[in-house]
A and B are shown apart, each in its own frame.
Chain A
């Protein structure tokens, strides 16, 4: 079945760039998402990319998609302590349940001052 893999932990210093990586198996993915979850809270949509795009930039966030390698990354420039959270990569695809999201296990980002 479909699978989304992420590394579980990432630690960076404040002001550095963070790169969170994700790989997926479903080649028919249409949209790929990055969500942020702060402790005890729900998920916040950070950004998404359509599968026919290679890159999307939104302020400090840059999403890169390598469809050939099925690799998605999220780069956070000038990482701040407020960026400490768990980041989930997710994919969705047409066919079957509309908008059925498949999540990775999440990457816990720790930002040290």
Chain B
């Protein structure tokens, strides 16, 4: 059941460039997807909630112009880190909640390791 994929799994980029990370629910539709950031040896911090067909809701302290989120379909959400800097290096994980009446259970992707040089 419920598989979420992320692409790429690992990316290295130069400072100042933009990086797009894709999150896909493979076998279910997800009205809502979430983007988390995990610093080394720390827990996950919710960055934003992505709803299909509407603007993402960003958590306090997360710059929406820097972390662009697009939820274009019920199976795809993208996170674009614009003008990336070394401090943006982190492990980015997405999750998806199946559409319809069910639990709030979130299924997580395998994560994307971003390294900004």
Say whether A98 contacts B97, CB under 8 Å: yes
Range of interface residues on chain B? 20 to 34
B73 is an interface residue with CB less than 8 A from chain A: no
- A43 B93 Cβ-Cβ under 8 A: yes
Known: A88-B44, A100-B49. A42 touches B110 (CB 8 A): yes
Q: Is B35 an interface residue (CB 8 A)?
A: no
Which listed residue (B49, B97, B108, B113) contacts A40, Cβ 8 A?
B113
Minimal Cβ-Cβ distance residue in B for A41: B110
Residues of B within 8 A of A92 (CB): 104
B67 at the interface (CB under 8 A from A): no
* Contacting residue for B103 out of A40, A48, A105, CB 8 A: A48
Taking a contact as CB atoms closer than 8 A, the residue among A30, A41, A97, A100 that contacts B111 in the complex is: A41
Give the residues in chain A near B43, CB-CB below 8 Å.
Answer: 88, 103-106
Nearest 3 A/B pairs, CB to CB:
A99-B104, A42-B111, A43-B108
Which residue numbers of A lie inside 8 Å of B, CB to CB? 30-31, 33, 35, 40-45, 48, 50, 88, 92, 97-101, 103-106
21 A-B Cβ contacts within 8 A? A30-B104, A31-B103, A31-B104, A31-B105, A33-B105, A40-B111, A42-B6, A42-B110, A43-B95, A45-B108, A48-B105, A50-B103, A92-B104, A97-B57, A98-B49, A98-B97, A99-B34, A99-B106, A101-B46, A101-B95, A103-B43
